[in-house]
Amino acid sequence: MPRIVLFLDLDYFFAQVEEVENPELRGKPLCVCVFSGRTSDSGVVSSANYVARRFGVKAGMPIKAAKKLLPEESVILPVRLEHYATVSRQIMANLKKFNTPLRVESIDEAVMDITQAVGGDYIEAEKFAKKVKEIIRANFGLTCSIGVGPNRVIAKMAADYSKPDGLTVVKPENVEEFLRDLPVKNLPGIGAKTETLLAEHQIKTIGDLSRQSLEKLEELFGPKKAQYLYLASRGIYDEVIEERPPPKQLSKIVTLKRNTREVEEVMETLAAATSEAYSRLASSKFFASKIGLIAITTRLETITRQADIRLGATLDEVLRSLRLLLTKLLETDEKMMLRRVGVRFSGLKPVSGQTSLNIFSEG
């Protein structure tokens, strides 16, 4: 029986939740932002609807830069991660009712192995995907994009291909054609650094990548990543879809736009990384009792600082703690320049009992 995997991606999730709950926002450029705490414009865009994207706004962009691109009628809202996590958990609970292997990938993504549910039939798989879309729209008023394919990598790329509110089915016999002309950056796991290195070797499309030998890829990336790139570019990288084990910690590290020791500049980037890690924590139904700052200097030293936080701390509380840790760290060495920064949630405890909004509220 051919394996069939479904990948679900909730369209511009945070912004779309705001539109559903405030219909007057529909049709207006809308950005949901993470404010880093110093001024009304300090922070980054976390989610933008497709109206805002037409003006060039995208996730991760500084709020100041986004405002310069947007017209006056645009709406800028603060992120409500606790609320989006609650909606996400409700959606995932609906998916679990299908009794198929399910893995929640993030607050707005999930992957399902629907092989048995559809009897290995791609026609039935398309019907299954349409049913999932109907349930999410009927129960939550939200659209989603779904990809169906022989493995998770193909299914995820198919979901990306069909945004927004799309459905793309890639059968095994169509995998090579689907991948051939796509840029390498479309392959999950390929970031800017990998894309640049591949381009230096004239590897610009996934088709180009699929023609490389495993030996050459190992020379460039080492055995583990080379194995993934070799198989994924050929559409045959496979993995078992099952629920993730409870996390021991959650972290996210990002590279700064430039080497700096300016607190505001660092916090702008750190706020986006923290928002992403926090949303994963909240959607996984875990609290953290400790928050950690990870700082990588231009001398390639990795320095960590940690503080206790209350269980159920809000994103604003977490960012305030990180700002304090960062400020104190930089005060220890006036010549310290940072290259990368990150956040780590640890001391995780599962949420017990009712998972309503008040468990995340302040006070």
Looking at the structure, do residues 114 and 187 belong to the same domain, yes or no?
yes
H or E stretch including 103? strand 102-106
Looking at the structure, do residues 156 and 226 belong to the same domain, yes or no?
yes
Q: Would you say residue 333 lies in a domain?
A: yes
Looking at the structure, do residues 203 and 183 belong to the same domain, yes or no?
yes
Token pair listed for 6: 């479904």
Give, in order, the Cα–Cα distances in Å from 179 to each of 106, 183, 279, 362.
Answer: 24, 9, 31, 48
Could you say which residues of the chain have pLDDT below 70?
37-38, 352-363
CATH of residue 194's domain is 3.30.70.270
Q: Three-state DSSP class for 354?
A: coil
Residue 347 backbone class (left: φ over 0; alpha: ψ -120 to 50; beta: rest): left
Catalytic residue among 82, 109, 268, 276: 109
Work out the number of other CB atoms within 10 angstroms of the CB of residue 350.
9
| Domain, as residue range, for 215 | 5-11+84-232
Tell me if residue 109 is catalytic: yes
Q: What pLDDT, on a 0 to 100 scale, did the predictor assign at position 205?
A: 97
Looking at the structure, do residues 182 and 276 belong to the same domain, yes or no?
no
Looking at the structure, do residues 335 and 291 belong to the same domain, yes or no?
yes
Q: What is the pLDDT of residues 15-39, one digit of tens each?
A: 999 999 999 999 999 999 988 766 7
| Burial readout 231-256 (b: 16 or more C-beta within 10 A, e: otherwise) | bbbebebeeebeeeeeeeebebebeb
Find, among 289, 299, 284, 269, the residue nearest to 344 by Cα: 289
Q: What pLDDT, on a 0 to 100 scale, did the predictor assign at position 5?
A: 98
Q: What pLDDT, on a 0 to 100 scale, did the predictor assign at position 352?
A: 60
Helix axes 214-221, 192-200, angle to 10 degrees: 120
Question: Would you give the DSSP letter of residue 351?
Answer: -
Residue 147, burial from CB neighbour count under 10 angstroms (0-12, 13-18, 19+):
buried
Backbone angles phi, psi at 151, to 5 degrees: -155, 175
CA dist 22 and 19 (Å) reads 5
Looking at the structure, do residues 31 and 137 belong to the same domain, yes or no?
no
What pTM did the predictor assign?
0.84
Q: What is the pLDDT of residues 47-101, one digit of tens each?
A: 999 999 999 999 888 899 999 999 999 999 999 988 998 999 999 999 999 999 9
Q: What pLDDT, on a 0 to 100 scale, did the predictor assign at position 350?
A: 84
Q: What pLDDT, on a 0 to 100 scale, did the predictor assign at position 359?
A: 29
Q: What pLDDT, on a 0 to 100 scale, did the predictor assign at position 268?
A: 87
Token pair listed for 140: 């939550």
Q: What pLDDT, on a 0 to 100 scale, did the predictor assign at position 244?
A: 80
> CA 64: distance to chain centroid?
22
Q: Would you say residue 187 lies in a domain?
A: yes
**DSSP string spanning 148-159?**
EESSHHHHHHHH
Looking at the structure, do residues 165 and 100 belong to the same domain, yes or no?
yes
